[in-house]
Amino acid sequence: MTKIRALRQFSHYHAGSFDQFEVRVVKDEYAEALIGMGLAEDVDADPILKPEPEPEPEPEPEPTTPVDLEKKGSKK
């Protein structure tokens, strides 16, 4: 039995569904196949850090000039 870490979310016919970064013990033959396909890594390897969330964009400043509420071409 080998402990693996899923590199992304996937499903395996015999091993079941994996969430990204999930660590689970599976049969050696499944682990070898999943690692070979690039879907998982051996837990003894260096851990993969979760990606940092992207910062939210700064809100745009509100205009400082007054807004005309009258429509163009309307009679006064």
| pLDDT tens per residue, range 14-52 | 888 999 999 999 999 999 999 999 999 998 755 556 667
Domain boundaries, the chain: 2-42
The CATH architecture that domain 2-42 belongs to is: 3-Layer(aba) Sandwich (3.40)
CA angle 15–18–22, rounded 5-degree value: 115
Q: Retrieve residue 35's tokens.
A: 């690692």
- Predicted confidence at residue 14, as pLDDT, reads 83
Sign (positive/negative) of CA torsion 2, 39, 36, 45?
negative
In this prediction the pTM is 0.54
Higher-confidence position of 55 and 34: 34
